[in-house]
A = this chain, B = another copy of it.
Amino acid sequence: MEITKKDLIRYQERKFPKNINFHPIGVIHSPFTNLKGIPIQPSFSDAKGKIEIFKQYQAGLKDLEGFSHVICLYFFDLVKMPVPLQSKPFLTDEIKGVFGTRTPFRPNPIGLSILEIINIHTTIINVNNLDILDKTPTIDIKPYVPRFDHRETDKIGWLKGNIRKKTS
Contact = CB atoms under 8 A, between A and B. Distances in A.
A108 B62 contact: no
Contacts of A41: 147-148
A157 B63 contact: yes
Interface in A67-120: 67-71, 73, 75, 77-80, 83-88, 95-103, 105-108, 110, 112, 114, 116
B3 A103 contact: yes
A27 B9 CA distance: 18
A53 B157 contact: no
B66 A157 contact: yes
B149 A149 contact: yes
B108 A23 contact: yes
A67 B1 contact: no
A35 to B, nearest CB: 7
Which of A59, A71, A150 neighbours the largest number of chain B CB atoms within 10 Å of its CB?
A150
A18 interface: yes
Contacts of A158: 63, 66
A25 interface: yes
A155 B20 CA distance: 34
Interface of A: 1-3, 6-9, 11, 14, 16-25, 27, 34-35, 41-43, 53, 57, 59-71, 73, 75, 77-80, 83-88, 95-103, 105-108, 110, 112, 114, 116, 135, 137, 139-160, 163
Given A3-B105, A60-B100, A102-B145, 11 more contacts: A14-B78, A61-B99, A66-B160, A67-B156, A69-B153, A70-B99, A99-B143, A102-B143, A102-B148, A112-B112, A146-B150
